[in-house]
Structure 1
Amino acid sequence: MPVEALELNDSKGYTALNTAARFGNTEAVEILVAKHSDLLHIRNEDDWLPLHRAAQSAHKDTLSYLLMVTNPDCKTKKPIDNDLEHMAPFEADSGVELLVLVIASRFYDIALDLVRQYPQVAKSRFQHRCALGEMAKKVEQSAESCERDDILNPTRQKVKAMLWRVLELLVPPIKHIQHIREQKLKHNQALQLVKYLCEQVRSLEDLKAYRSLAKRPLLVAAKLGIHEIIEEIVNSIPRAILAKDSEDRNIFQLAVIKRHENVFNLLYQMGEYKQYITRLEDDNGNTLLHLVGNQAPIEKLNVVPGAALQIQRELQWFKEVEKFVNPSYIEKQNDDGETPSTVFTNKHMDLVVEGEKWMKNRATSCTIAATLITAIVFIAAIIVPGGNNNTSGLPIFSTEKAFIVFVVSDAIALFMSTTSLLIFLSILTSRYAEEDFLYILPHRLIIGFVTLFLSIITMIVAFSSTLCLMLGDKNSWLLSLVVTSACLPISSFMLLQFPLLVDLVSSTYGPGIFGKQSSRSFY
């Protein structure tokens, strides 16, 4: 079979090499390239080389091999167009499209190598797409994101990588730890790539060109909440901070609409300029406070459990934005004649109703539990274990240590359950104004949960001490079994209700989601 026969293609222009690259068959790719290296430079009907197909299909090993063997200076051809010559693999549109496909597959290390070898593709566009714009959509946020000092200090990054290798040799491989390391490494590579792309865009002499390359990625990053991208772009191109979308909204207005606190928190790192940028209005006359008055996107609301905590988070956003807005703008009307507070009330009416239902359901359930505990421990206090001495009238076990434990724990259980019952009744009879969801109602619910939890614990302790009095030391194994079983209701409450209590305490008394993220100044 002549090697030229390998250039045969199907109706879409796919050669055997193009198909092998599509499915990531690296072994077949190596054999085909060894037989006929010209296959590397034959495009299909989409103008894609095997390189592009491997990148689009996210086959990293295949792509790495093709990058190694593809001649960057060789002109490519397209057999279905009568072998007309096309541009070289890494030039102009071909190079930009390849880079965009590599970034879309999250191969940031390969993309970084590409832009370093061919800087021109970093500052070019193809069909309204560019590398920086693609990165604005791909950089992932994670709780374990790398420190900025490591990103800007390659030496420290290499030292950390070396330490990771040593740790892997000393400690048996743990998949979760390896996954965290891979995510950190990918995040690190992504930010390095963004920094390099910004440097290349800044090097353009055409002011209009580099602003257009930076504007869309900046707005996309604001909508997606990628504050690292925004910081890098504004650091490289300071005037890009004035970029606005088709509705005349800047990055902070978009961040407020989408509820991206990590972007909004950049205001804390700004100087006096924040007084100007927070006064800007969109094309409907909406200030920053009007925009935060709209309800958050459903995906951001669902991050917070329960409608009551969701409306609390919305109120926290409104109060935080209010701190940055000029006092004269607090009652300013938009083009529809609405003030920010009016917008908030109108847009959150349904959520307030849902929050009221959520609060009442929790309070009703807990009221029933608190009532039962109150009745049980009250009866136990009257009918003491062992009965009373007919002569003195004192309890028979009054001198036993276990009886003292019973009396104290039963009394605490009674007081706590009664307090819990009153707290939950106050929740049920509350007026449920939207301001109450910010602090008053969550505060009451926390106290109610804590007192109910303490009443359950002390009730179980009282019950266990009663068993100690009845069984004594003769049936220690039975006593141990019963006491161990007594931990079951406590554990059940912890598993079912404690996460909600933690969320309530964190949301109401915690440090919150707002504040300065870095000592690095922004604009």
Structure 2
Amino acid sequence: MANYQTTDVNDDFTLRTKLNRALSHTKNEDIETRRKKNEDVKKLCKETELGPLFVCNIQNNTVLHLACYFKNFELANDLLDSMPESSLDLLLVKRNAWGSTVLHDASTSKHELGVVFLKKLFHRVPTLLAQRTNMGETALFQAIRYGKRNVYKLLIEEVRKLCNIYTGHDYLHYLRREDHTNVLHLAILTRRFDMALDIADKYPDLCDQPTYLKTTALQMLAGSPTAFRSGVTFGCLVDFGYNIVPTSEQGTHGEVGIIKKCMGFMLNRSCCKFPMIEKVREMKKGHEDALELAKILIRRDKSWEHTQLPRAAVTPATNIQNNVNNEIASQTIVISDDHRWGETPLLLAARSGCIEVVREILEMYPEAVDHLNENQENVLHVAIMNRNIDIFDLIRETRPSTSRGLLRAINKQDNSILHLVGCKPANLGEFSDYREMKSPAVQLSEELTLLEKLENICPEFLKNHRNRDNLTARELFAKANNDLHDRAKTWLKSTAENCTVVIILMTTVAFAAAYTVPGGPDDRTGLPILLGQPLFIVFTITDVLSLGFGLTAVVVFLTILTSPYRMKDFQRSLPQKLLLGFTLLFLSVSMMMVAFAATIVLTINARQRWTKITLYIVAIFPVLIFMLSYIPFYKELIGALSYWLKKIHSSLPRISCRAPKHTDPTLSKSV
């Protein structure tokens, strides 16, 4: 008996080995070899009673599972046709280790033969669509997760037919997991916004249904900044392509120039397809679908209504005694029972930086601007804490009367909006990952500029307001940014020292070039041979300018090295000096490039040896690379000082065309 069982085990093992070898295929396998392997699989399936439902590996995948997994739907269709009617019920119980049926694996492919296979399955085993995995997912979840649009359309139509035929069927059984995550939630999480739009249109009841964590579809969308245009950063070329590429046959719409519209029309009608253009088109279509979905969800979702009750009126504290009184008063405050819903979509959008969602919510529900989170923070607080200044400016522009009250509000820790500038965005969770990394000096400069900007906007009494730690906004800022201050100091010193070394080397070259003029001197007179050439004058002027700019830049960087590096110096003084130093450095490099170019042309005209010309050309490349490497940082530095440039511009005198009013001298004397 034992020998008989051993023989059966060995036979099963041998059969599994042969089946796995026949089912697997290489990438460049020819059609004839594939067909031969398919015939081998069919013959091997006839050797077992289970046939195509024979288990092949430790994950409990059957032959039919693996055929669908390897997208060999020609074989899968033949195996399904070979199954008798009596064994079709086994398709409902034959599952792999994850609880997936054959239908689940077949739903992960958009192959045309795969769609034919799915239709055969529905025809022969209609109830297979209702089967769930160990996670409680039907095959419709699989199609959405892997972005198979044609399979999704087929499955969603079959669900509708089944619910119409069998009146006792609940459509939520197909569209929702046991943890209340539905297909709309999954479509948003996997960025399948075209499917999400279709689901929201066919099943509007899903729009306001939360998960077991009490998170609705709108809250998920509001916490996904990369789903919208504002959350994605492009280069110049991709940004230009994004603006001109149409997403429909009608072409580019909106406020776009006539040239961009023409280019978009040509791209739409062109027979050639460029991979980069198609990728940008798909991304733009996804952003448009996400915005359209947000509009639908905002109309139907009611999670924005769940907010915290405001605190009692709190007097801004300027000393520790008032602070203690406020703490005692805050202990008697009653909070709304809706805390289980978390933050409203407006606050989530303000936290993640989805300015499109913020704009749509405020247009539809203006009263949502007053909503608070558990920490008694309003939308302006959240925007400032996460450094989403665009959202802060949007609310102040569109709701000027309401924003005055929001600016005066205080959270549970008695922190005003000025105190929240001291909160580091890097410590505020996953949303900080979307921010662009910048140098410490630029970060500190931006933080100081933001603090001063808010001080100019907020009421005067908030400057001296103290929180529960008895700290004013400036004191909290200095304490929270002490480490950033040290890193900015170290970075600025290192940058100034390195730039000083580079400039000294460049000025040495420029100084030496003044005495080794191109063409050399005349042996009789000692004057340069090419003195009468116009390009020689260009060489002389640019070489002197390069030397002058370089020496001036050395002086500027030396003033940076000898600076006391106080916190307030990083707001204006040091960034301006660094900007001036880099400007002089770039001018010095540019003049040196012009001098090199003039030397090359002079040398070619003088018919000198080509070895010298080659050396001059090669010498230009380090200069070019140096300039291109520092241009992004230069732009970043200018961006940090843009606020001060605007402030200087606003303080400049304006020319008035109106004549001054003449006053009565007798009245002025009496006054």
Instruction: Give your verdict on TM over 0.5.
Output: yes
Q: Distance in 1 between matches of 2:107 and 2:603?
A: 78
The aligned runs of 1:167-206 (5 Å cut-off) are 167-170=267-270, 172-201=272-301
Deviations 1:243-266 (A, max 9, x none): 222211122212211222232222
Structure-to-structure mapping, 1:189-338, within 5 angstroms = 189-201=289-301, 216-266=344-394, 267-297=396-426, 299=432, 303-338=436-471
Secondary structure of the residue aligned to 2:563 is coil
Contact 1:96-1:125 within 8 A present in 2 as well:
yes
Asked whether 1:55 is paired with 2:144, we answer: yes
Distance in 2 between the 1:310 and 1:33 partners? 59
Comparing 305-314 with 471-480, greater Cα deviation is found at 471-480
- Code of the aligned partner of 2:443: Q
2:538 is equivalent to residue 453 of structure 1:
no
Task: Report if aligned partners of 2:163, 2:169 keep a CA contact under 8 Å in 1.
Answer: no
1 or 2 for the larger relative contact order (CA 8 Å, sep ≥6)? 1
Q: Secondary structure at the match of 1:272?
A: helix
State the Cα distance separating 1:216 from its structure 2 match: 3.1
Once the two structures are superposed, residues 51-76 of structure 1 have per-residue CA deviations (whole angstroms, 9 ceiling, x without a partner) of 23433454433222211222366399
Output the amino acid matched with 2:391: V
Question: Which residue of 1 is the match for residue 219 of structure 2?
Answer: 133
> 1:468·1:479 contact (CA, 8 Å) conserved in 2?
no
From 195, 204, 207, the counterpart of 1:119: 204
In structure 2, give the amino acid aligned to 1:258: N
Q: TM-score, normalised by structure 1?
A: 0.82
Match of 1:473 among 606, 614, 623: 606
1:335-369, Cα deviation, whole Å (9 max, x unpaired): 11101011111111111111111111111112122
Q: How does 1:5-44 map to 2 (within 5 A)?
A: 5-10=90-95, 14-21=100-107, 26-44=115-133
Tell me if structure 2 keeps the 8 A contact 1:42–1:76.
no
Q: Does residue 142 of the first structure (1) align with residue 229 of the second (2)?
A: yes
User: Cα deviations across residues 402-446 of structure 1 (Å, max 9, x unaligned)?
Assistant: 543343233222211211111111111112122222222222222
Instruction: State the one-letter code of the partner of 2:407.
Output: T
1:428 alignment counterpart: 561
Aligned to 1:87: 170
Would you say the 8 A contact 1:201–1:213 is kept in 2?
no
Find the aligned partners of 2:354 and 2:537 in 1 and give their Cα distance. Answer: 60
Q: Distance in 2 between matches of 1:161 and 1:379?
A: 57
Instruction: Note closer, same or farther for the CA distance 1:446–1:32 as it changes in structure 2 (3 Å cut).
Output: same
Q: Are 1:72 and 1:88, in contact at CA under 8 Å, matched by a contact in 2?
A: no
Cα distance between partner residues in 2 of 1:359 and 1:338: 29
- Counterpart of 1:71 in structure 2 is 160
What is the alpha-carbon distance in structure 2 between the residues aligned to residue 246 and residue 205 of structure 1? 14
Distance 2:603 2:295 in 1: 74
Larger radius of gyration: 2
Q: Is the 1:76–1:87 Cα contact (8 Å) retained in structure 2?
A: no
How far apart, in 1, do the equivalents of 2:182 and 2:480 lie?
Answer: 43
Alpha-carbon distance change, 205 to 345 in structure 1, aligned in 2, over 3 angstroms: closer
- SS in structure 1 at match of 2:634: helix
Is this contact kept in 2: 1:413–1:454, CA < 8 A? yes
**What is residue 108 of structure 1 aligned with on the other side?**
193
Quick check: 188-197 or 334-343, which moved more?
188-197
* TM-superposed deviation, 1:451: 1.8
Q: CA deviation at 1:239?
A: 2.8
1:438 is aligned to 571
**Stretch of structure 1 that moved more, 447-456 or 282-291:** 447-456
CA distance in structure 2 between the partners assigned to 1:406 and 1:88 by the alignment: 81
Q: Which amino acid aligns with 1:131?
A: A
Q: Percent identity?
A: 26
Contact 1:51 1:67 in 2 (8 A): yes
Matched residues in 1 for 2:406 and 2:359: separation? 16
In structure 2, what is the Cα distance between the partners aligned to 1:204 and 1:467? 69
- Aligned CA-pair RMSD: 3.9
Name the counterpart of 2:48. none
State the distance in 2 between where 1:468 and 1:406 align: 10
Deviations 1:428-472 (A, max 9, x none): 111212222222222222222222233234345546656777775
Q: C-alpha distance in 2, partners of 1:284/1:222?
A: 20
SS in 2 for 1:288: coil
Aligned residue identity for 2:296 = Y
Determine helix, strand or coil for the equivalent of 2:418.
helix
Q: Which amino acid aligns with 2:222?
A: A
What is the identity, as a one-letter code, of the residue corresponding to 1:445?
L
C-alpha distance in 2, partners of 1:203/1:302?
27
- How far is 1:314 from its partner? 1.6
Alpha-carbon distance in structure 1 between the residues aligned to 2:250 and 2:600: 61
Q: Alpha-carbon deviation of 1:205?
A: 12
- Of the structure 1 ranges 472-481 and 339-348, higher mean CA displacement relative to structure 2 is found in 472-481
- Counterparts in 2 of 1:31 and 1:456: CA distance versus 1, 3 Å: same
User: Are 2:501 and 1:345 aligned?
Assistant: no
**How many angstroms apart in 2 are the aligned matches of 1:374 and 1:466?**
17
SS in 2 for 1:74: helix
Q: Secondary structure at the match of 2:107?
A: helix
Aligned to 2:310: none
Deviates more, 1:195-204 or 1:339-348: 195-204
Q: How far is 1:120 from its partner?
A: 1.9
Bigger drift between 194-203 and 459-468 goes to: 459-468
Query: Using a 3 Å threshold, how does the CA distance of structure 1 residues 384 and 161 change in structure 2: closer, same or farther?
Result: closer
Q: Within 2, Cα distance between the matches of 1:272 and 1:402?
A: 64
- Structure-2 separation of matches of 1:302 and 1:492: 27
SS at match of 1:330: helix
Matching of residues 345-384 of structure 1 within 5 Å: 345-381=478-514
CA separation in 1, counterparts of 2:174 and 2:645?
49
Uncovered stretches (5+) of structure 2, i.e. residues with no partner = 1-83, 233-246, 254-260, 308-335, 648-671
**Contact 2:303-2:341 at 8 Å conserved across structures:** no
Whether the aligned pair in 1 keeps the contact of 2:159 and 2:174 (CA below 8 Å) is: no
CA distance in 2, matches of 1:244, 1:66: 41
